[in-house]
Amino acid sequence: MTTRSLRERFLPAPRNGGFRMDGYWVWCGSVVRGEDGRYHLFASRWSMHLPMHPGWLVHSEVVRAVSDIPEGPYRYEETVLQARGAEYWDGRSTHNPHIVRHENTYLLYYMGTTYPFPDVRPGESYGLDDPRCIVARANKRVGLAVSDSVFGPWRRSDRPIVDVRPRLFDSYLTSNPAPCLHEDGSVLLIYKARQYRGYRYSEMSLGAARADHYRGPYLKISEEPLFPPSEIHLEDPFVWKTSAGYEMIAKDMEGRFGEKHGGVHALSPDGLNWQVAERPQAYSRTVVWEDGAVERMGHFERPFLLFEDGRPTHLFAATADGEDFGCKNTWNMVIPLSE
């Protein structure tokens, strides 16, 4: 990247950019240029008959949308990872899609979960204390689907590629995969985790795994969280390779680096040992639109950078028009970046 920080490169955001769908909550969002030359955005969605949170835990599915230009607007084309039965580890809900391409192969990393209860019906009460939510949260794991075409078909993993480990910081769940794919096909994978604390669970932390090839196996390389949770509380990592090692942007859960739920920028020489950058704030929830309006978004999460010709050109993020899950609409938005 240049000597300017990421946020200093932000251009005004297009009002009609990104991806939204009537009747659905839309979240996450990652983009790849397909073999057809168009831009394909993979996002998660779930019906608005469910609450925004925690409705995603039980009925999210991964969809693909398309645009001729990276800013969008993106148009829904198909559901890619739908429910496939409680007997599968990812059979009831898929979420957190992150698409990357290696040569002529497309790799779709995601979170999946399952639970042995009936679907939540329209009008039925549903919240964090519902058994479906409790079991689905504890069953969250990271998986991988592979295809020779951006149009599919997708071959889903029979088992999670990043599972839990007893007694360690990732004993409760793994989710929010952030892969960094190298030219030789090897992968550094940063993921979110929680630890069991009796019958409850810890705050969120980040871990790391490596694979000599994207097919796996993915081997954990961190026995401790990448950042001490008592000092730095992060979520939603995005990671890329540089000549000096690796860089990361992530969601600042407590605002210790400029803004609560804004972005943090971190650096690492090896993908395991990380430090917050000298200018730590990667982005703000305050957005400047093309029409000149300035708006503080209720949410600005799941950051994803689109790279073209080796440089980041657009920042995508899940956003909403209200805070603390009191929003009426969610969508994926995009901010173009200057040189």
pTM (2 d.p.):
0.97
Segment 103-151, tens digit of pLDDT:
999 999 999 999 999 999 999 999 999 999 999 999 999 999 999 999 9
- Domain ranges, ordered by start, for the chain: 27-336
Q: What is the tens place of the pLDDT at every residue in 308-332?
A: 999 999 999 999 998 777 789 999 9
- Full DSSP string of 262-307: SEEEEEESSSSS-EEEEEEE---SEEEBTTS-EEE-SEEEEEEEEE
For every residue of 156-201, DSSP letters joined together read E-SS-SB---TTSTTSSEEEEEEEEE-TTS-EEEEEEEE-EETTEE
Percent of the chain at pLDDT exceeding 70: 99
Q: How confident is the model at residue 3 (pLDDT cuts 50, 70, 90)?
A: low
Distances (CA, A) of 167 to 143, 191, 195: 22, 17, 8
CATH, domain 27-336, list 3.40.50.720, 1.10.10.10, 3.40.830.10, 2.115.10.20: 2.115.10.20
Is 50 exceeded by the pLDDT of residue 2? no
Strands 61-67 and 75-81: antiparallel
Residues 6+ apart with CB under 8 A from 166: none
Name the least confident of 4-8, 133-137, 146-150, 259-263. Answer: 4-8
Residue 316's beta-bridge partner residues? 304, 334
From 44-53, 94-103, 214-223, 319-328, the region with the lowest mean pLDDT:
319-328
Q: How many CA atoms lie within 13 A of 19 on its CB side?
A: 30
| Of 101, 91, 94, 96, nearest in space to 80 by CA | 94
pLDDT at 206: 98
